[in-house]
Structure 1
Amino acid sequence: MRAVTYDAYAGDNSRLRFGEVAEPKVGPGQVLIEVRAAGVNPVDWKIMAGGLDGMMDTMFPVIPGWDVAGVVRALGADAPEFAVGDEVMAYARKDVVHAGTFAQYVAVAAPSVARRPDTLGWAEAGGLPLAGLTALRCLGRLGVGDGDTLLVHGASGGTGGFAVQIGRARGARVIGTASERNHDYLRDLGAEPVVYGDGLAGRVRDLAPDGVTAVADFVGGQLQVTLKVLARGGRHVSVADNTVQEHGGHWIWVRPDGARLSELGALAERGLLKVEVAETFALDEVGAAFDASRHGHTRGKLVILP
């Protein structure tokens, strides 16, 4: 099958290769997915740079990619949840970094897989799993609901945009930070936008004089602002700054979870969650997709279409 690989850690794209590799074996409890779309996430190129070497084992050559949407083509032993031909999506992270989703096929544990909702096209479904599950887990840990005022740092990014929509679906008022060019986009999602940067805490306080009750940080470096705007008894989480744990917050690392992914699919079917696809790339353009992700100013999701 065709796939993108790298055979050693690198902080740039110099080790990326596009070519033929062996098709994955389909173990017990797994499904073989023919990849129709695979979302690009910052963790993909950070792993390639060795950023998670202290946390996860790596077996080279590595096929990068943790997001997938596609069609079930084969079943391993005892995988009754799905049938050949099912259209599915998954956050396909495994215990060892090796066989990812930037390929024609990927084998994924059945409990990590959910059915693709009809309301999401392939690119949209491929961009949802990791970022969507991260947002869902963050807001779940915060217990966001009616009566909350939620501040989202990095609200126009892939994960932040999902957090805005999930927060609104749960009845919260949402304030989102973004560059001014993305403010209309945030308004369309249901957020009240504020410009990030110097003076952010004051701008948030202008909108919420009594403080916000919950904060979700998807960019890092925002702890001091968070502590300045958080109301007494407020809750906060971050996916990018583990020092929040020293200040009563939670550092979030999302798990593959097909059942929770199905919750996101249900929101999409109800018209409460949309996936903004910023740009798509062919399988042999993964390097360009990584460059776009590294640039860090993408609104929505970058997606590989094999």
Structure 2
Amino acid sequence: MRIEWNTRKDLRAPRDGETTLVLFARDFPPEGDEGDSRLAVAAYRLGWRRMAVYGLKGQRFTGCGFGAATGDVRLDLFGSSGDYVASGMDGMELRIHDSGQDQLGQIMKRGRLVVFGDVGQAFMYGAKGGEVYVMGNAAGRPLINAVGRPRVVINGTCLDYLAESFMAGDPHAGGGFVVLNGIEFDDRGAVREQATPYPGANLFSLASGGALFVRDPHRMLVPEQLNGGEFAELSDADWGLILPYLESNERLFGISIERDLLAVNGERREPREVYRKVKAVRLAVLSKQLPPE
């Protein structure tokens, strides 16, 4: 079934053999009760579980308001989606077939988010969970104040303040983590390293839990960038933890673990030679860095 602005009143429950609702969003307002995001929620309540939204031109809040227990729902977005997409998402799968905007995945709880492009400011602010894959870069302040068990792969890099005040527990006991690959695609679609895995001066600042796994085979990152975290050797258990997510990442974007991520100057390296772990320091250490009262 296909719905657009002029036929929005024709929305109904799916009939036998109908599996996908196609929503042409171009003429819908950017937000509010008449927005395409609210129509998608209404369609879900009527029984639609697979939706393709295209013709987006900045409409906000797509994927919001569906509630819990939405593990059987999938949304595919085409065009220029707006701010707050997938915010508060709790179980569904949402794919953005372009770049995302600001506040993407804010306070996300569960589900799977895939972005075939870059993401904007404050990506996954305060997120509590979810499995997320970003083909490109993130702008500033991604995953600030995230808690619980978000598990995120960013194939590009970030501007600054990645995972500041990250509070995601022990990644080996159900907590969260971020994999930062620091790569990009050339004009022919081949994977290559970026100039630096992370250009900012604040990486994992004031974090109290979780971990970062950064592809940094040339050891370009320095302790002065951490501001509260510390480097640690990548263990076999660490690699076993992130490998399934890198395998999913390979299936989604064609970024090969063996040929792209573990290859350095054309030679295959061991994971511990390529990836570096950044973990939270004990709060007692942080307190020693504070000036006396």
TM-score by length of 1: 0.28
Greater helix share, 1 or 2?
1
Greater strand share, 1 or 2?
1
Larger radius of gyration: 2
TM-score by length of 2: 0.29
